[in-house]
Amino acid sequence: MPSTDVDKSVDSLQQAVREADRDRYISVLYAPEEKRNALLSLYAFNAEIASVRERVREPLPGEIRLQWWRDLIAADNIEGAGGSPLAVSLISTIRAHRLPREAFDNYFEARLFDLYDDPMPSRTDLEGYCGETASVFIQLAAMVLDPSAARAVAELAGHAGCAQAITGLLRLQPIHQRRGQCYVPTDILAAAGTSVDELLEDAASPSSRMALAAMRALAREHLAAFERGARDLPQVLRPAFLPLALTRAYLDRLDKAGPSSAPAATDISMVRRHALMFRRAWRGW
């Protein structure tokens, strides 16, 4: 690309991630400058796919959109990107850092779940969904930062992604509820004495509250497992994991907020986000 087009592409990626995923945007600022554009392309792509459900009225157009991306990545086809700066940047990132295309294929399979209102069958299915969505992007980011060091943190990325994704799903619970979606696994609901229908109808009922509390406990379980392993996390890989610096604070806000509170009610200030990430970036876990 001409230099002016490259500059526009970088600006576009920065704006997309800053608006859609401020936590990951902040984490990129701690990465080496030469790695930032690759990380931004990954995070902008994730934000694009995660928002497909919001932009379609029926599942089929969403599936078509996912398939377009899936075919593009599988074919390694920049020429087929249709001039999309994000698509061009993503393909270039995959090539430059030799990122495994099967990881993206699994990601698309998991994201199909978002397009429908099917219940999450079990805790195992939920953890699998988190692993193929949030965890995989932590691992891909680690590969961008240092492919050799990244080989040793796959399990750590698994716990980190589960903690991050479950917390995010809980923060979005009121939005999912209005859509008729339920990410709380049916086995957790049954153990709490409730059901998908009851949770969608009344998230404030005692049994629904118990199920949501169990979800928060599951997120904390994965967070604790991550934090134990993160003591040995190489400094070069910290930017990939920095959003986890905020997870405990979000969970604490969820503990205090009502089950129908808007996501803004569980937010934390930008000053605190920066402070928490700064501490982990320099001191680790």
DSSP states of 171-225 as a string?
Answer: HTHHHHHHHT---S-HHHHHHTT--HHHHHH-TTSHHHHHHHHHHHHHHHHHHHH
Q: Give the pLDDT confidence score for residue 239 in this predicted structure.
A: 98
Retrieve residue 41's tokens.
């392309």
Which tens digits make up the pLDDT trace of 191-202? 999 999 999 999
Res 72 pLDDT > 70: yes
pTM of the model: 0.93
Which tens digits make up the pLDDT trace of 136-147? 999 999 999 999
Q: How far is it, in rounded angstroms, from Cα 73 to Cα 102? A: 10
Q: How far is it, in rounded angstroms, from Cα 43 to Cα 23? A: 10
Higher pLDDT: 3 or 228? It is: 228
Res 46 pLDDT > 50: yes
Query: Mean per-residue pLDDT for 26-39?
Result: 97
Q: Give the pLDDT confidence score for residue 57 in this predicted structure.
A: 87
Res 3 pLDDT > 70: no
Question: pLDDT exceeding 90 applies to what percent of the chain?
Answer: 88
Res 8 pLDDT > 70: no
